[in-house]
Every structure is written in structure tokens, then in C-alpha cells.
Chain A
Amino acid sequence: MTVAPLLAGAAALLALSIAAIPLARRPAGNKILYGLALALSMLLLGGAINHLVSGADPAWIRLPLGLPWIGSRFRLDALSAFFLAVTNLGGSAASLYAMGRGAQEPEPQRVLPFYPAFLAAMNLVVLADDAFTFLLAWEFMSLTSWALVMAHHRERGNAHAGYVYIVMATFGTLALLLAFGLLAGPGGGYDFAAMRTHEVTPAIAGLVLALVLLGAGSKAGIVPLHVWLPLAHPAAPSHVSALMSGVMTKAAIYGFVRIVFDLLGEPSWWSGLIVLFLGGITAVLGVLYALMQHDLKRLLAYHTVENIGIIYIGLGLALAFRANGMGAAAALAMTAALFHVLNHMLFKSLLFFGAGAVLGATGERDMEKLGGLARNMPYTSFVFLVGCVAISALPPLNGFVSEWLTFQAILLSPDLPQWALKIMAPAMGGLLALSAALAAACFVKAYGVTFLGRPRSEAAREARETDAFSLAAMSALAILCLMAGILPGFVIDTLGPTTLSLIDERMPVQASVRWLSIVPIAESRSSYNGLLVFAFVAASATFAALVIHRFASTRLRRAPAWDCGFPDPSPATQYSASSFAQPIRRVFGTSIFRAREEVNMPPPGDGRPARLTVTVRDLAWELIYVPIVRGAAWISERLNHLQFLTIRQYLSLVFAVLVFLLLVLASWQ
């Protein structure tokens, strides 16, 4: 597979984007455009999978675009092919979903022209092979997604979300620009091939790592750079939210992996330590933030932060193992991280689609006004449940497999020579387990409050099942979640060339293991068979059902809820999202979020209702961003009078700066 057809696909998406401008207002435009986007994404997906499975050599192409003396280089290797597959799988699902749900868009001309361009930009990011093309595609990706975030700009909070997003995205691109500058060195070899051969000193390597963590990390949502993510992702239309959470954060992971594993050369052990630590913190804080939310889409966005943390734990372990020459362990950790990249794309897209279906059926994102949707939306509720089980890392679905592989990688870390890593790895293992348990808690809350219980509003009571296209997209993703969970060996084998290209080592081939088990190191050490676990649970449940229905009573009576004898007909007496999270908020939130509860009880005889006020503070915002914003405002206010100088003053200022710079240059030499 050469690069040219893939680039042609991306170019076709761009052309589709232009065609969308006149077509968007037509009633049929929606289906045609999303249908074409679906077809193109499927073609690109096919190309990527073909490259991965055939194990072909990297192919590259140089186009006479971009800077005149460089041109644009594009390259398809195992790493880009994997991320290309993830991108286009997500893109296909989102396009299929939008063929149905897109019709409900109030202003399609604000969404349709940017959507194919956004897809194309993400494709170009993973294909780019020089810094200029990469940054151009990266910025294009940011801008198109920003336009999509602003599609509903009149809704409350969306303009603010867009503003925060564009500031953070620009900052991230700046950091990446500097990182590429350092990698290219004074010679200015801006294509990736030159950067691979260019050796950097450890100090520069550290600086590059910091800049990449700032640049790609802010796009992926590492704490504390995550603040824009839970604002921007939910603000976009749901299929775009799914793309941003499920796919664009993966492009950010790609950027990190490409630079740190491929371009930067041999890592040092402390880079693994830093990445591991950031991953663990991100995972736990992400899920704790999510638990405090009662907006369904924002909750999902915070879970993206959590899952990015889990991926970074895997990447950090891979760096640490690779720095110490433990190739097999590094391959295991890397496979776990990449497997989670795929998994997160699958279940997060599914969940955002589900949230979009709920939003379409009820007009509500606030879980406190939902409830009981499982009755009116049986199919959506079923596939959403699959997504919830998958993201909670429960067997036999896919989320568990990647976390299990990460645990297996952590269990290899006692052999690391550095003490800091030996202590950090099990601690992060504990945090990973904590985040998995909290994620399960959070999705009991999300599913329980949204789909179960009694409807809390008229809109929830009147909800209707979503359309066939959306259901098809969600079902396809749910099936893929199950398949990746019960047949993980195939995914691991497909990832083989990618890890091989990054760390010169791969996990043992799993296809030959009996009964399709996965065996990361040796069978006496650990193995897992999702297929058998699934079959056993299914068989036992069927067996129990058969026995019960054969020998026990089959009578069933519907009656009012018992509730210990005091059922209250008002749906407001149910547990709400905030009350469900209250125990966890008390245990974790009082210190991390300074969560405070205040009960305002009127005196006896006063008819006013009692009030419970809960305040949760985001310390990352208050301690880091607010001072920065204040500082920027303070400086700009001080510099404000520079706007009102006379021409003589301006000229002398220019002269002074010129002299100063010449002096600096002179002393530099």
C-alpha cells in the first residue's frame, strides 16, 4: 500500500468539505455528505488495516506543497497505519451515526462543511512526515474542531468553551513547534527522517519531552492541562464529541508516541517516571472529576481524561522498560497502551453516541432531569450498557483486557534497576485499580440515573427510541467492544508490527495459543481467555435460567415498589446523580475538590424548604489557570499605555530594541 491513495482519500474528504457549503442547506444534503464521508473513511480504514496486516514496509511520498524548499512529506509506517485505522474506524462510526442523527441538527450549515475537513485533518496528522506538514495538519485539526465546538455558539457556556479551547490549542501547537525546533537542531532538518538521525543531548531531550507533554498532552487532556476538554468536547454536536474524545485525543497520543518513541531516540529512565506519574494522576483525577458531574456529556468527557491517564501509564512503563533494555516488557506495556487507544475509541464513541441519542430524544444532558429511559429506549439502553461495562474495565469486554495487560506490565517492574521506578510502578498500579473501581462507580451512576429508575421529567417520560442509523452505528461499536474483549489475541497480533517498529520487540504471537487465550509472557505466569469467560458466564446464566424456570416458580406479578413499606410516588425521592456520588465525594472530594456541604434548615414552624448546598472547587483551575489569567491581564494592563505613544517615542523604542538585540547577538557569539 502506498501513501498516494490514502492522501487521495484525505483530499477527497477536503473536497467533500467544500461541496458541503452549497449542499448543507438541502434536505438530502445531510445523508449524502455523511454517506460519502462514511464511504471515504471506510476506504481509508481498509487501506490502513491492509498495511497493518500485510506487514508491508513503510512507504513515503513527497508532494510539492507547503514550504518551497522542503515540500510535504507523508509516510505510512506501522505506527501511522495503526492510528490511521483507529481514526477512520471512529470516523466511519461517527459518519454512520450522523446519517441519522445529523438530520436533527438545527443549523447543518454550521456543522457539515467542517466535519469532513476535521476527518481529513486527523488523517493528515498521522500521515505527516515532516514538522511543517505535521504542525499544519495539527493546527487545521484544532481549528476545524474549534469551528465544530462553536456550531451551537448561542447555547450558554459554549462560547466560553470555544475560547478556552482555542487558547489551549494554540498554546499546545506553540509547544510542539518549539519541540520540533529543538529536534531539528541548528541544521534545520525539518523532516522526520533527519530528526531520527539527529542526536540530542539529555538536557535537550528533557526539554523536548516537557514541550511534547505540554503540546500533545494538552490536546490529549493530561491533568492539569485538561481544563478545556470537559468544556469543549460536550459543547459540540454528539457525533463530533465522539470524534473529539474518541479520535482526536488519539491523534494527540500519536503525536506523543511519534516524537518520544520514534524521533527522540533512546529514552532515559526518568522520562518514564514522569510520564508514569502524570498518567496515574490523570487517571484518578479524571474519574473523580467525572463522579462530581451530573451533565452526561461532560461526565463522558472527564472519563476521556481518565482513559488518557491509563494510556499514559502504559506509555510511561514502556519508556521505563525500554530505557533499561527490557524489550519484552516494553513491548507488553506498549501493546497495553495501544490496545487501550483502540478500546477507548470504541467505547467512548459508543457512549457519546448514546448520550447524543438521549439528548435527541429528551433535549436534556442533565442527568438529574432524566431517568427511566430503558423502558422507552430499549436498544439504546442496551448498547449504552455495553459501553458502560467496557469502559468500567469489567470482563469479558475490551476495557478489561488492556487494563489487565497494563497490570501484567506493572508486575514486571520489580526488575527495573531504579528505585524511584520500583516504588512508582506499584503505586501507579494501585491508582490504576482505584480509577477502574471509581469508573465502575461512575458508570453505575451514569447508567442508573439516566436509564434506570423513574423518569424525573416530562421529557424523559415521553422519550422515543432513536433512529436506525444511530442504532446501527452504536450496535457496530458494541459488537466491536465485545469482539476485542473476547478475541484480544488478534488485536495484540495486529499491534505486533507497530510495537516492533517502536521498540524493536513485540509481544509473542497469540494466534497459536490454544483456545485463543492471551499469554503475555509465559503460561505459568499469567493468561486470560475472554472467550471462555464469556462462554462460561453465558452458559451458567442460561443454565441457571433453565433450571429456575423448569423447577422453580415461573409466576411473576407486577406491583408497586416496596421500598421498605414507605414508597413515595414522587420521582424526586429517588437517588439522584449528586446523591449517588455523595459517599465518594465525602471520602475523596473533601480534600481533592474542597467539596463542602451546607445544610440550610429553616427553624421549626417555618414553611420554607430546607436546602442542601454542595460546593465543589476545581483546584487545577483555581491554582494554575486563574493566576496565569490574572498575570496576563495585569501585564497587558501595564503595557496598555504603549498603545498611546507619539511617533518619536515609538521610533526610539524600535531603536532601543534593535540595539538591545544586536548586543545580545554580539555577546552570544
Chain B
Amino acid sequence: MIDGLSIQISQMLLVLALAPLLVGIVRAIKARLLRRRGPSVLQPFRDIARLARKEAVVAESASWLFRVVPYLVFAATWVAAALVPTFATGLLFSWSADLIAIIALLGSARFFLALAGMDVGTSFGGIGSSREVMIASLAEPALIMIVFTLALVAGSTQLSTVAEIFLSGVGLRVSLGMALVALIIVAIAENGRIPVDNPATHLELTMVHEAMVLEYSGRHLALIELASALKLLLYASLIACVFTPWGLAPAGAPFHVHLIGAAVYAGKLAAAGLLLAVFETMIAKMRVFRVPDFLGAALMLGSLGALLLFVSRGL
């Protein structure tokens, strides 16, 4: 109980501390790849602190919802990120929400953020919200199909259990390969990374996430930036804990195993950041209406993977 609680709390703090760092790493590597010097990996921390110190400017037409949403979005994303095993599987509250609930929790965050985009009554906010929900409506079924695949292999939708079962080895499976590719595509789309959206843009007709949060400033924007960093970390942790579970400290392991787990996790995150940066540098952003094709591929792969498992069961 005490072990579980301390793991849970340290995980909550760890994700909060590492999330901006991951964003910083991706930005730094991208800058290097583009032969720029780029800011330090700590720049996102400084940005968030700077934003938090500034006054918040709220549009005159904004309603009460506009000021509540940043807190809700941050809280939902943080809770979701705290429930994905990062360095240890023995999270105290892991059973309170399974993988489907974690996805739905992210869905709640997105729902409120999209509402906030509509709140001020500007065309940029609307364009961001409407495209965000379009992308989500394709990404979510793909994600559920991936969950089906994982759940059928592991016999559980409980993420800690899934991680432990994958840690003990389930062998190579075609379905899991498909699920991995699909999950990466979904993660790219959900986090608004290139080629679906460009996180570095601030004045483009093609922006999605940034258009939605365009009216935010000051502490509200700081929370939203932190939440989107947490979401990126969440997807990286999710892929890491399911597909590369090595190094995860199982429940009840001694303290030094947890330390090793944390170190391995940091390594996995760095690798994820590197891969993301390389991928983003290599590829151009696609038109908005190409995105359905891109996500359709994820949906297809996810469905095929799940279908293979559904029909191969009981043979």
C-alpha cells in the first residue's frame, strides 16, 4: 500500500517534471538536424514559468468556460499520464482506470479544449476546434482497435497488467506489429506533430492545435502547454510500456530496481524524442484533407490486427 502510494506519487511528479524536458529534447534535436543551434533543452520550463508570471489577457467575448478549461484539461491529462506505467507497474491506482478509460479521459480533455476554441467566437478558434474533432473522430476508433489487440494478447485492458504480461514475454506477433505502427500514427496525430499538424506554427491557416488555443495567454496558456507536453509524454510512455517493457520495475520489486527502471525510462524517452525529431525533420506537413488517409491507414492496421486475433482465437 505504502509502496504503491509512493510509486504513484513519484510517478505523478516524474511525469510533470519530464514532460517539458521531452518537448525540449525534441526541439533541441530538431534544431540540430536543421543545423540551427536551438535553445537549451530546458527552454520549455522557462517558457512555462515566463507565461505563468505574465498577466492573463482574456477576450471580452469569453464566457466562464474559457477560464475553467485550462485547469480541467491539465487535470485530466495529468491524471491520465499518472496512470500509464512509466518506470514501475505497481501503481496504486492503476485499477481505477483501464486503457479505455485513459483514452476517454484524454477525450474529455480534448472535448473541453475544443469548446474553449469555440468560446471566444473567432474564426481561428473555430477552424482549430473543427479540425481537431475531425482528426479525433478518426484517431479514436483506431485507438480502440489497438486497445482490442493489446487486450486480447494480454487478456486484460488494465495497463499495469498488460505491461506485466508483455514484460514476461508474449513473443512476436503480426498483430502487435500492426498495432505498433497504428499506435505511432495515432500518437503523431493526437499530439499534433508533423505531418498532421505543426507544433511550431503560430500564424498559419493550416494550424490545428495552435489555432484552437490561439486566444489563451499567461497562466492559462502555461497550463495548456504543460498539458500538451504531458500528452506527448503519455503517448511515449504508452508505446514504451507496451512495446518495450524492458526495465519496468514489477510490483513489489526492491528499491534499486525502481531506480534502474527510472533510468531505463529516461533512456526510452530520449530515444522516443530522437526518433520523433528525426521523423518530423524528414517529412513534410500534409494537407488537412490528406490526414483522413493517414489516419485511415492506422484504422486499417488496427482493425486488421484486432481481427486477426479475434478469428485466430479458439482455433
Inter-subunit contact A440/B107 (CB<8 Å): yes
Whether B58 lies near A557 (C-beta < 8 A) is yes
Q: A526-B158, A553-B218, A575-B127 are in contact. Are A451 and B134 (CB under 8 A)?
A: no
Confirm or deny: A529 has a beta carbon within 8 angstroms of a beta carbon on chain B.
yes
Roughly how many angstroms separate A445 CA and B117 CA in the complex, as a whole number? 11
* B177 CB within 8 Å of chain A: no
Known: A400-B104, A532-B93. Is A454-B61 also a contact (CB below 8 A)?
Answer: yes
Does A438 count as interface, using CB distance less than 8 angstroms?
A: yes
From residue A310, how far is it (CB to closest CB) to chain B in Å? 14
A444–B120 touching, CB < 8 Å: no
Within 8 A of A (CB), among B54-105: 54-61, 63-65, 71-72, 74-76, 78-79, 82, 93, 95-98, 100-101, 104-105
Contact size range, B: 35 or more
Q: Which residues of B contact A571 (CB under 8 A)?
A: 121
B115, CB-defined interface residue at 8 Å: yes
Q: Which residues of chain B (102-122) have a CB below 8 Å from chain A?
A: 104-105, 107-108, 110-111, 114-115, 117-122
Stretch of A212-220, A254-262, A533-541 that contacts chain B:
A533-541
Q: Nearest Cβ distance between residue A386 and chain B, in whole angstroms?
A: 12
Residues of A within 8 A of B218 (CB): 553, 555
CA distance A430 to B304 in the complex (A): 11
B18 at the interface (CB under 8 A from A): no
Q: Tell whether, in the assembled complex, residue A437 and residue B136 are in contact, meaning their CB atoms are under 8 Å apart.
A: yes
Docked Cα-Cα span, A541 to B95, in Å, equals 21
With contacts A371-B121, A524-B158, A574-B122 taken as known, whether A558 is within 8 angstroms of B60 at the C-beta atoms is yes
User: Quick check: is B200 within 8 A (CB to CB) of the other chain?
Assistant: no
Does chain A have a CB within 8 A of B303?
A: yes
Q: For residue A467, give the distance in angstroms from its CB to the closest CB of chain B.
A: 21
Q: What's the minimum C-beta distance from B53 to chain A, rounded to whole angstroms?
A: 5
Binds A, one of B19-27, B141-149, B242-250, B253-261: B141-149
Asked if A436 lies at the interface with its beta carbon under 8 angstroms from chain B, I say yes
B41, CB-defined interface residue at 8 Å:
no
**Interface residues in A415-433 (C-beta closer than 8 Å to B):** 415, 417, 419, 422-423, 425-427, 429-433
How far, in angstroms, from A453 to B116 measured CA to CA in the complex?
9
A370 to chain B, nearest CB (A): 12
Are B59 and A559 in contact (CB-based, < 8 A)? yes
Q: How far is the CA of A517 from the CA of B94 in the complex (A)?
A: 12
Is residue A157 within 8 Å, beta carbon to beta carbon, of the partner chain? no
Cα distance A615–B106 when bound, in Å?
34
Complex contact A528–B101 (CB within 8 A): yes
- A647: Cβ under 8 A from any B Cβ: no
Take A434-B140, A437-B136, A580-B129 as given contacts and tell me if A528 and B97 are in contact as well, using a CB distance cutoff of 8 Å. Answer: yes
**B306 contacts chain A at the CB level, 8 A cutoff:** yes
A445 CA to B143 CA, complexed, in Å: 23
Considering only residues 543-577 of chain A, those with a C-beta below 8 Å from chain B are 543-545, 548, 551-553, 555-564, 567-568, 571, 573-575
- The yes or no answer to B52 lying at the interface (CB within 8 A) is yes
Assuming the contacts A425-B310, A536-B93, A562-B59, asked whether A444 and B129 have C-beta atoms less than 8 A apart, the reply is: yes
* CB–CB B120/A414 < 8 A: no
Expressed in whole angstroms, the Cα–Cα distance for A414 and B175 within the complex equals 15
Nearest-CB residue, chain A, relative to B70 = A544
**Which residue of the partner chain, among A393, A447, A548, contacts B115 with CB atoms under 8 Å?**
A447
CA distance A381 to B157 in the complex (A): 35
Q: Are A527 and B115 in contact (CB under 8 A)?
A: no
- Tell me the smallest distance from the CB of A548 to a CB of chain B, in Å: 5
Grouping DSSP codes into helix (H, G, I), strand (E, B) and loop, the B interface class, with mixed when no group exceeds half, is helix
B282 nearest CB across to chain A (Å):
26
Does A374 count as interface, using CB distance less than 8 angstroms?
yes
A115 within 8 A of B: no
Cα A371 to Cα B64 in complex, Å, equals 14
B156–A526 CB distance below 8 A: yes
Contact of A533 among B105, B127, B139, B311 (CB under 8 A): B105
Is B4's beta carbon under 8 Å from chain A? no
Which of B74, B104, B140, B311 is the most central at the interface, judged by chain A CB atoms within 10 Å of its CB?
A: B104
Q: Which residues of B contact A529 (CB under 8 A)?
A: 95-97
Cβ distance A571 to chain B, nearest Cβ, rounded Å: 7
The yes or no answer to B44 lying at the interface (CB within 8 A) is no
Whole-angstrom distance between the alpha carbons of A226 and B306 in the complex?
31
Known: A423-B310, A528-B96, A528-B98. A579 touches B130 (CB 8 A): yes
Chain B residues with Cβ below 8 Å from A528 are 96-98, 101
A441 lies within 8 A of chain B by Cβ: yes
Q: Which of A96-104, A583-591, A622-630 contacts B (4 or more CB under 8 A)?
A: A583-591
A411 with B157: CB separation less than 8 A: yes
Q: A395-B101, A523-B95, A553-B55 are in contact. Are A584 and B137 (CB under 8 A)?
A: yes
Bound form: Cα–Cα A449–B141 in Å: 25
Q: Is the CB of B140 within 8 A of A444?
A: no
Instruction: Specify which of A378, A408, A415, A434 lies most central, judged by the most chain B CB atoms within 10 Å of its CB.
Output: A434
**A375 close to B (CB within 8 Å):** yes
The verdict on B241 contacting chain A, using a C-beta distance below 8 Å, is no
Q: Is the CB of A434 within 8 A of B137?
A: yes
> Which of A434, A443, A548, A568 has the most chain B CB atoms closer than 10 A to its own CB?
A548
The verdict on A174 contacting chain B, using a C-beta distance below 8 Å, is no
Known interface pairs A559-B57, A563-B123; A583-B131 also in contact (CB < 8 Å): yes
Asked if A385 is an interface residue, CB under 8 A from chain B, the answer is: yes
Q: For the complex, what is the distance from the CA of A437 to the CA of B132, rounded to whole Å?
A: 11
A contact set with B: CB distance below 8 Å: 371-372, 374-375, 378, 381, 385, 389, 392-395, 400, 404, 407-408, 410-411, 413-415, 417, 419, 422-423, 425-427, 429-434, 436-438, 440-441, 443-445, 447-449, 451-454, 515, 517, 523-529, 532-533, 536-541, 543-545, 548, 551-553, 555-564, 567-568, 571, 573-575, 579-584, 586-587
Known contacts A433-B140, A449-B118, A544-B223; 18 additional CB pairs below 8 A are A389-B108, A394-B107, A408-B157, A411-B157, A414-B313, A429-B144, A429-B145, A433-B144, A434-B140, A437-B136, A440-B137, A453-B118, A453-B126, A532-B93, A533-B79, A541-B75, A559-B60, A561-B60
10 contacts between A and B (CB under 8 A): A372-B63, A374-B119, A381-B65, A389-B111, A426-B306, A526-B98, A544-B78, A563-B120, A575-B118, A575-B130
10 closest A-B pairs by CB: A575-B126, A448-B118, A453-B121, A433-B144, A540-B75, A441-B133, A552-B52, A555-B55, A414-B313, A541-B75
